[in-house]
Amino acid sequence: MNLRIAIAQLDFLVGDLRGNADRILQAAREARDRLRAHAVVFPELCLAGYPPEDLILRCDFLAQAERTLDDIASQVHGIDVIVGFPERRAGMPYNSAAVLREGKIHAVYRKHALPNYGVFDEKRYFLPGSEPCVFDLCGVPVGITICEDLWLPGAVEQAAEAGAKLILNINASPYHANKLKEREAVARERVVLTGVPLVYVNLIGGQDELVFDGASFVMNREGSVTFRAPEFEESLLPVDFVCGDRVEPVASDLAEPLPEIASVYKALVTGIRDYVSKNRFEGAVLGLSGGIDSALTLVLATDALGADQVECVLMPSRYTAAISVEDARLEAETLGCRYHIIPIEPAFDAFLGMLEESFAGMPPDTTEENIQARCRGIILMAFSNKKRKILLTTGNKSEMSVGYATLYGDMAGGFAPLKDVPKLLVYRLAEYRNSLSPIIPQRVIERAPSAELRPNQKDEDSLPPYSILDPILEMYVEQDKSVEDIAAAGFPEHEVVRVTRMVDSNEYKRRQAPPGVKITRRAFGRDRRYPITSGYRR
């Protein structure tokens, strides 16, 4: 006999129980009526959205989730629905999956392996399950596991020992570069060990700092991928199986994995799109300087939201080069975004005048530079408030790491698309986007980066070259390497000491920065948590 399962790779909103339920029911009806599927499988905790964080600690939220699941179950007929939900059992919360069949909850599986590293802290919220769940689907014994259960020995093997001939693994697996290869390698290890084929269903969309890339797949018992859904695209797709003594997936659509730079770009676009839309902003505004960071942020925002939803403000000062304004105007006009030119000189002069007596006899320093950045922050926040558009900050991970940014100035805003994007990757992304259609002027890419807050200023006046800075930051921030280890890798020890001191001393700034899209293995925020006040010194 043949078995057809629909993979529901969809985007859900955290906390929107009723809205998520409606999406589940609509997809279930479509899977039944259009795709003629016997079952439809949804991602991990899709009813609540992922991650629900401290909503799980609210009894009223869990009670409403229970009622909503019962309501969904009452409307399910003619198809099995496998749905992730937060379960309260004997007063205790579990990360669970329910099999809904003919108006009832037919079976429930409770996640065994609760991740508690990186961006995950599920042990804060859930108790682990311990029993397998194998149910009959059209005569085929099917086992259920949830996300981390696949990464550790135990749950998948237990389901196979309980007689499962097919495993459904539901996921909310966040994106970072090259994550798809890691997932498929882990799945292959489990599948080859048990000899049981696997259906891997992943969430899609953005949730605060996290982005979920989908890329759901089916793997046969030999470990070959026979189906793969597109990355970063909502999909409701059927997969077929030939069932006898064994269950064999029928080879079907196999979306090719995106090149790394393309997947990073799509992750950033997805993160911006969902943060803006899910928080109900009426578009986005950003400061456009003529530099590469703001140029890339502009094109990302435009690709995410559309040119009509993105507004730019050019704010030249006495130190702004004429080509910076010219390039910024060209970028906005090429994309079709509305822009304004508002010089900050009157505001800067006013502040200098107000402080003249108090600062008498004191030479200019970064104070005056920061005043300029804060003048711009005030203007941009005014646009954000008045027009109900989110302010996108344009700083990158390299700058955030070493504190090369001004609190309440260029750090002001609601979302930071490049927060986890190192400077060298900014250049690669700009080149990639220009390969699709020329948007960013080549001289913006080629010019030496500058904050333009004093005469002839260059980033390298204050920082090592990015070709040295970024590798040091990757080893220190993302890999927790010591100064000695980094120096042993070939970097000048004095530069390593200098950079790591800047990283440590600027934790207080990063705590006040807006959230941004996670695209590396270790981003600031959820991933990396260091004390601001610390006596530890290397």
pLDDT, one tens digit per residue, over 2-41 is: 999 999 999 999 999 999 999 999 999 999 999 999 999 9
The answer to whether position 238 is within a domain reads yes
Q: Say whether both 242 and 322 belong to one domain.
A: no
The answer to whether residues 138 and 232 belong to one domain is yes
Asked if 366 and 232 sit in the same domain, the reply is: no
Does 435 fall in a domain?
Answer: yes
- Mean pLDDT value of segment 189-212: 96
Do the domain assignments include residue 93? yes
**Which tens digits make up the pLDDT trace of 28-74?**
999 999 999 999 999 999 999 999 999 999 999 999 999 999 999 99
pLDDT at residue 522 tops 90:
no
Tell me whether residue 163 is annotated as binding.
Answer: no
- In this prediction, residue 454 carries a pLDDT of 65
Band (1; pLDDT cuts 50, 70, 90): low
Our answer to whether residue 111 is catalytic in this structure is: yes
- State the pLDDT at residue 537: 67
**CA distances to 215, 259, 456, 471 from 180, in Å:** 7, 11, 44, 24
CA atoms within 13 A on the CB side of 184: 20
Domain contains 482: no
For the chain, the 3-state helix, strand and coil shares in percent, each to the nearest 5, are: 40, 20, 40
Does the annotation list 289 as a binding residue?
yes
Q: Give Dmax (Cα) for the chain.
A: 89
pLDDT tens readout for residues 233-273? 999 999 999 998 898 999 888 999 999 999 999 999 999 99
Same domain, 136 and 35: yes
CATH of the domain at 24: 3.60.110.10
Given 229, 258, 287, the domain boundary residue is 258
Cα–Cα distance, 217 to 201 (Å, whole number): 7
Reply yes or no on whether 59 is catalytic: no
Residue 144 lies in a domain: yes
Instruction: Classify residue 395: in a domain, yes or no.
Output: yes
CA–CA separation, 406 and 395 (whole Å): 10
Structure tokens at 220: 């046969």
104 is in an annotated binding site: no
What is the three-class DSSP state of 306? coil
The model's confidence at residue 531, banded by pLDDT at 50, 70 and 90, is: confident
Q: Taking the CB of residue 524, how many other CB atoms lie within 10 A of it?
A: 24
In a domain, 517, yes or no: no
Q: Are residues 36 and 122 in the same domain?
A: yes
Q: Rounded distance, CA 243 to CA 389, Å?
A: 53
Cβ-contact 111, 147 below 8 angstroms: yes
Instruction: Give the pLDDT of residue 319.
Output: 83
482 is in an annotated binding site: no
- The residue from 44, 148, 331, 369 that is catalytic is 44
Measuring CA to CA, which residue among 21, 38, 98, 20 is closest to residue 238?
A: 38
Among the candidates 226, 258, 290, a domain finishes at 258
The single residue of 111, 397, 419, 481 carrying the catalytic annotation is: 111
**Same domain assignment for residues 116 and 150:** yes
Q: Is the domain of 319 the same as that of 411?
A: yes
Asked if 89 and 144 sit in the same domain, the reply is yes
CATH of the domain at 269: 3.40.50.620
pLDDT surpassing 90 at residue 123 = no
Helices (H), 101-254: 155-161, 179-194
Domain co-membership, 84 together with 140: yes
The number of distinct structural domains making up the chain is 2
Give yes or no: residues 312 and 197 share one domain.
no
Q: Is residue 485 domain-resident?
A: no
123 is catalytic: no
Do residues 312 and 406 both lie within one domain? yes
399 is in an annotated binding site: yes
Active site residue: 147, 312, 337, 375, which one?
A: 147
- Could you tell me if 195 and 281 lie in one domain? no
- d(Cα 96, Cα 255) in Å, to the nearest integer? 29
pLDDT tens across 324-354, in order?
A: 888 899 999 999 999 999 999 999 999 999 9
Residue 526: per-residue pLDDT: 81
Q: Decide which of 235, 258, 281 is a domain's last residue.
A: 258
| Owning domain of residue 336 | 262-463+506-511
